[in-house]
Structure 1
Amino acid sequence: MGFRKRLQSRIYSGDNVMGLSDLRYLPRWVILIIDIGFIAISVYFSCYLIEKLSFNTIPVFKEGIPVFLIILGISIIFMVIFKTYAGIIRHSTFIDLFKLFLAIFSSTVLVAAISFSYYLSTGQRMIYMSIPFLVIFFTASFMLMFLFRLFVKEVFHFAREVRRSTLRKRILVLGITEQSVAMARAIIDNPNLPYHIVGFLTQRQDSTRASLLGKPIYTKAKIERNSKEDLMLDGVLLLQELLTKEEMNRWVTFFLEKDLQIFKAPSLQKLKSNDSEVTIKTLQIEDLLNRKPIKIENEDVKRRHSGKTILITGGAGSIGSEIVRQVALFEPKLIVVLDQAETPLYDIEMEMRSSFPEIDFKFVLADISNRHRIEPLFQKYQFSMVYHAAAYKHVPLIEENPHEAILVNILGTKNLATLASRYKVNRFVMVSTDKAVKPTNVMGASKRTAELFVQALQNTENNSTKFITTRFGNVLGSNGSVIPHFKKQIEKGGPVTITHPDITRYFMTIPEACDLVLQAGAMGEGGEIFVFDMGEPVKILDLAHRMIKLSGFEPHVDIKIIYSGLRPGEKLYEELLSDDAKTLPTHHEKILISKDPTMDFQNIEKYCNQITKAALRREKVEVVQILKEIVPEFKSNNSIYEVLDK
């Protein structure tokens, strides 16, 4: 009834296009009737073939129609017993085929037994040439039913593929390896994915006449000769783990030139799970900038955290929150997370209590420049390690409010470091920045001053704390970084604003940066500044071009790029080492120790007290003037404070 109603609805509703892929399955009674028809055809065909082969006019059935009905009835009984009609045909398996075989074989055996019994009791044959007849009947009926099911399965598959190809993105899979083929098969078998596999793409020239999964293999030359409209393509799927960074960049450049969308696949296991939340995603600029993370298997890292009490300042920020996540993996006794930003602190609290219910956390809303608020924490918890990631970091804002940077970046660091030394904290790890090298802005100079203070404190009498500094460049996806900013501008339709066409920056991922911080905390002996091999710097203009193209737009056509001029304190090129710094190797080739000039503790403490008093009086010019005395290489750039350098 349901099938008939759906059919009538389609006919009389005005939509006369019957989509086979819309049907859930053929009703069981329809399949049974069709199978009965096949049995009748098989009986008739067997009789016809016996008569033609024997050149005999004797009828095959002695009793005619009654024998025909007996065979039909026996076949129906066994089809009901084995439920050959019960499965969904387009999902038929070997078990369904075996049930079909058993039903027809049992029917044939029972008919043979009845025929033999009839012969023994009457001395006459019920079926002329019974053995050849039964062999032909068995073969014909099994083949007809099997081919019917195969035909229905293929029709539904074809209808589904046609529907998918019209409604879904038509993509190529890059590569012809086993992983590429397995990924393509998983996409074809996953109904939740809005993608249709058109074929495979390779640089090899010896595979063009072959096919994989019934799909053609395209060459790079063919893609070069034709447009995506000619090839009827929407995009290409990449398997990142199969490509080196250089290969990835070459292919991405090629695809962007051909205006093809670029997609990245999740892991094969996730894709096969048919989880609706697991999907293929558009390639992001982070995927191109992301190098293979540096991971150092170091039991010392775990030993220094397991069962210990840890303080993480700035724990609600981009870097600090990731440090919290990584430290929690080592099962410490207690993690105290401190930040002055209320909402982000609440967010990280909800996340960590959900992800690590077995870990004891303490979330503290406090300002590190307030020593009276901070000291009770050191008294109460007796920290083993302190990770100091709290800082003001936005260059233009700090340039306008230099006194605020002093209170947080310098006074806050001084408070924490002094308390760490007083309360015998084992290790104090400070997160610094590449902007502290030959600074051109207040933010960088304030961080360099903080570096000088903790280094000087290392060598004071009665100090047992190991003070360690980590210095790295821009972090992908961190709050206020250029990539999220560009993404928002592209989503709004542009324009994308760049301060200068030649500006370049180093980039690293948040997990990579935090891994460096943890490793430095484990390997440091005190007083070092650890720097990281950040690879080649990235030109921000090239970054913007790629981000626009990856979003499906054309730079300067769909999305404008405008130059806003260097912001106060901003410089074109960042550096990780100062000109007069020397480097020492560590046990990992990508991590170095920078031997920068230092200052004795009495001088840096005197300067810190002096600049703090000026900051409390909101004396901006005096603050910057003192900074330039502390950090002689600090030369303001594109800033009102340039006059102080003359």
Structure 2
Amino acid sequence: MNLSYIRRRLRKENPRWVVLIFDLGIVLFCYIFSNFIVNSFKGSLDIFDMMWKAPIVLMIYLSCFVIMQTYKGIVRQTGLSDAVKIFKTSWLAFMILALLSAIVRVFFGEDQNIFGFLRLSYGVLLMHTFFTMVSLVASRVFYRTIYESLFLRNRKMKQVLIFGASRPGLVAFSLLKEDQRTKYQVIAFVEDKASRVGKRIAGLPIIDISSLTKDFIRGNDISDVIIAVENDDPERLAKITDAFQQLKVELKIMPPAHLLLNSGIKREIRPLKVEDLLGRKNIKLNNPAITAETENKVILITGAAGSIGGELSRQIAKQRFKKLVLLDQAESPLYDLQQSLNLNNSDKIKCVVGDVRDLVFLDHFFNQYNFDIVFHAAAYKHVPLMEDNPYEAIWTNVVGFKNVADLSLKYNVKKFVMISTDKAINPTNVMGATKRAAEIYVSSCYGKGNTSFVITRF
């Protein structure tokens, strides 16, 4: 048979009646096989009697399959819950058949025809139940294995660690195994509790967080660490994140169960956010002064896709502004920000890809929108990188800033807010020096026009 045909068939969802008929075929085969095993040893194998009783076995199993709905699961995603349901269904059918056989034995004589039709061997029933359970589960696992080998073997492989050798860790382990987009391979579980270190869970070792080294991370090609703990103690989470950040791995988290119940969000593994370390709910700004400041204003945020600019954008997007323009030279992060903002104001929010170092572009840009407020967050901020790339730091943090400040004066922007850094205080590195230079330039702009200049340090 052509492999491409098999691929097409496996991609399609099999009709439920096909699964049901296949399961009944397994039931019939196992009944015949069980009769052969049990009665061959007795020397009393009666094929006619066996086929005469088979319909009652099939009818009982059919009823149990319909009641328990074992045939409605997606076969290629068979899991433990499906296996448990099959076990329950098989034992339910066994008890019904055994009870029916016992009733016939007690209330009907051997000379009555109904006795021969319904008298079932307990030994055959017991063996049949065992073979049926194993075969039904094995058939689903085999189907899933074939499907994964054909479609999922070329998925990108990611080596990960799970912090939390408890129930949340096991849930995270299951979610990773079920992910259809990326194939994860969990190397080990990590713990900070000495009582769990050295043991095994889900067949994987539990290792001490203090024993992790950069050599271990590189040697096992580990890219991600998933934090899965029920106790969301902020102090503990902070220690965990500090330990892993030194190892240069991406941190993700699975929210604890009580947060899921309270907030209604679904259980999923997502990137770790600063809010996860707070140990409290986010503070939502509801300041009348902020509302009055932004109401009916045309607002520009440069560097809108960055960490500070992004949060500014999200907070201001909740206000009653006239127009919010988000400027950044990074296309993908700006697109992600656009998708995350309130769609109710989508007609008032404009995302623009552009560079603050391009004076010609900026001049046309300011002339087009007539801004009331400018938040300048566009800057390079990573100290080590800027030490190696001083030209880029000066070109963006000084020249780019000057372009925006000068145009704010030229086009009579009412307020200009510069996002600076504490590293501008007695700077000892390139990044801090460029931000300090920009602050000095702001000071020189005071009184030159109608623009109010404000500096805030983070």
Identify the TM-score tier after normalising by the shorter chain: 0.5 to 0.7
One-letter amino acid of the structure 1 residue matched with residue 241 of structure 2: M
Per-residue CA deviation, residues 509-564 of structure 1 (Å, 9 max, x unaligned), is xxxxxxxxxxxxxxxxxxxxxxx3xxxxxxxxxxxxxxxxxxxxxxxxxxxxxxxx
> Judging changes above 3 Å, is the alpha-carbon distance between structure 1 residues 202 and 136 closer, same or farther for their aligned structure 2 residues?
same
Note the alpha carbon deviations across 1:155-201, whole angstroms, 9 max, x for none: 67888999989983443323435443332232123343311223212
Task: Write the letter of the residue equivalent to 2:27.
Answer: D
Give the Cα separation in 1 of the matches to 2:312 and 2:216.
47
Q: TM-score, structure 2 length as denominator?
A: 0.59
Change (3 A) 1:165 1:443: closer
Could you tell me which of 394, 404, 409 is aligned with 2:405?
409
Q: Does 1:37 align with 2:29?
A: yes
Where 1:144 maps in the other structure, the secondary structure is helix
Please name the residue that 1:304 is paired with: 291
Match of 2:52 in 1: 70
Secondary structure of the equivalent of 2:185? strand
- Whole-angstrom distance in 2 between the partners of 1:65 and 1:391: 84
Cα deviation per residue 1:76-108 (whole Å; 9 max; x = unaligned)? 344455558956495535544444345445555
Which position in structure 2 is the counterpart of 1:216? Answer: 205
For residue 140 of structure 1, what is the aligned residue in structure 2? 127
Which structure would you say has the larger Rg? Answer: 1
Residue in 2 that maps onto 1:206: 195
Structure 1 match to 2:455: 470
- Which residue among 247, 252, 260 is the counterpart of 1:265? 252
* Distance (Å, rounded) in 1 between the aligned partners of 2:217 and 2:340: 49
For residue 431 of structure 1, what is the aligned residue in structure 2?
418
Residue 329 of structure 1: SS of its match in structure 2? coil
Which residue type is aligned with residue 455 of structure 2? Answer: T
Distance across 2 between alignment mates of 1:166 and 1:305? 55
**CA deviations over 1:374-393 (Å, ceiling 9, x no partner):** 9x958xxxx6xx34539999
For 1:388-430, what per-residue CA distance to the aligned partner results, in whole angstroms no more than 9, with x for missing partners?
A: 53999976449998xx98775357337636xx4xxxxxxx452
Confirm or deny that 1:335 pairs with 2:323. Answer: yes
Asked if the contact 1:266–1:280 (Cα under 8 Å) also holds between the matched residues in 2, the reply is yes
Question: Does the Cα contact within 8 Å between 1:325 and 1:352 map onto a contact in 2?
Answer: no
Counterpart contact for 2:187–2:204, Cα < 8 Å: yes
Deviations 1:121-162 (A, max 9, x none): x479956xx98x644343332222123334556667888999
Instruction: Tell me, in whole angstroms, the C-alpha distance in 1 between the residues paired with 2:136 and 2:397.
Output: 75
| Aligned AA (1:73) | P
Provide the C-alpha distance between the structure 1 equivalents of 2:163 and 2:325, rounded to a whole number of angstroms: 45
What's the offset of the Cα at 1:448? 2.5
Question: Judging changes above 3 Å, is the alpha-carbon distance between structure 1 residues 169 and 111 closer, same or farther for their aligned structure 2 residues?
Answer: same
| Partner AA of 2:90 in structure 1 | L
Match of 2:356 in 1: none
How many residues are aligned here? Answer: 395
Cα distance 1:205–1:150, how it changes in 2: closer, same or farther (>3 A)? Answer: same
Tell whether the 8 Å contact from 2:405 to 2:416 is kept in structure 1 after alignment.
no
Tell me, yes or no, if the aligned pair for 2:317 and 2:345 is still in contact at 8 Å: no
Q: Which moved more, 1:190-199 or 1:302-311?
A: 302-311
CA distance in structure 1 between the aligned counterparts of 2:394 and 2:255, rounded to whole angstroms: 45
Tell me the SS of whatever aligns to 2:205: strand
C-alpha separation in 2, matches of 1:95 and 1:47 = 30
Q: What is the distance in 2 between the residues matched to 1:442 and 1:216? A: 49
Do structure 1's residue 448 and structure 2's residue 443 form an aligned pair? no
Structure number with the bigger relative contact order (C-alpha 8 A, sep ≥ 6) is 1
CA distance in 1, matches of 2:141, 2:243: 39
2:178 corresponds to which of 186, 189, 195: 189
Deviations 1:325-350 (A, max 9, x none): 431112x05125498x9999xx88x9
Residue 172 (1) aligns with residue 161 (2): yes
Question: Matched residues in 2 for 1:307 and 1:406: separation?
Answer: 24
Indicate if the aligned counterparts of 1:172 and 1:199 stay in contact, CA closer than 8 A.
yes
| AA of the residue aligned to 1:35 | V
Corresponding residue SS for 1:299: coil
Match among 134, 149, 156 for residue 136 of structure 2: 149
Whether contact under 8 Å (2:237, 2:277) holds in the other structure is no
In 2 relative to 1, CA 293–141 (structure 1 residues): closer, same or farther, beyond 3 Å? closer
Q: Secondary structure at the match of 1:184?
A: helix
**Contact 1:171/1:196 (8 A) holds in 2:** yes
Conservation of the 8 A alpha-carbon contact between 2:26 and 2:135 = no
Q: After the TM superposition, which residues 484-499 of structure 1 pair with which residues of structure 2 at under 5 Å, given as runs?
A: none
CA distance in 1, matches of 2:351, 2:89: 68
CA distance in 1, matches of 2:377, 2:370: 16
- Aligned pairs (5 A) from 1:540-619: none
CA distance in 2, matches of 1:398, 1:86: 62
Counting helix residues as a fraction of each chain, which structure ranks higher? 2
Classify 1:111/1:362 alpha carbon distance in 2 versus 1 (closer, same or farther; 3 Å): closer
Distance verdict in 2 for CA 1:377–1:245, change over 3 Å:
same
* Letter aligned with residue 469 of structure 1: V
Cα contact 1:165–1:196 (8 A) shared by 2: no
Distance 1:208 1:23, change over 3 A: farther
Query: Residues 204, 22 of structure 1: CA spacing in aligned structure 2 closer, same or farther, 3 A cutoff?
Result: farther
Q: Distance in 1 between matches of 2:121 and 2:397?
A: 97
Residue pair 1:38, 1:145 contacting (<8 A) in 2 also:
yes
Within 1, Cα distance between the matches of 2:214 and 2:341? 53
Taking the aligned partners of 2:214 and 2:284, their CA distance within structure 1 comes to 48
SS in 2 for 1:416: coil
Percentage of pairs with the same residue: 11
Q: Quick one: which amino acid aligns to residue 147 of structure 1?
A: V
SS at match of 2:412: helix
The residue type equivalent to 1:100 in the other structure is S
What residue is the counterpart of 2:90 in the other structure? 100
Residues 437 and 160 of structure 1: CA distance in aligned 2, closer, same or farther (over 3 Å): same
Are 2:104 and 1:119 equivalent residues in the alignment?
no
CA distance in 2, matches of 1:399, 1:139: 79
Structure 2 CA distance for partners of 1:114 and 1:432, relative to 1, 3 Å: closer
Contact 1:183/1:268 (8 A) holds in 2? no
- One-letter amino acid of the structure 1 residue matched with residue 52 of structure 2: I
Q: 1:322 to 1:43 in 2, by over 3 A?
A: closer
- Which residue does 1:326 correspond to in 2? 315
Q: What is the DSSP-based 3-state SS (H/G/I as helix, E as strand, rest coil) of the residue aligned with 1:119?
A: coil
Q: Using the alignment, how far apart are the partners of 1:293 and 1:416 within structure 2?
A: 43
Name the CA distance, whole Å, in 1 between partners of 2:128 and 2:397: 88
Partner of 1:361: 348
Amino acid in structure 1 at the alignment position of 2:412: L
Deviation at 1:309, TM superposition (A): 1.2
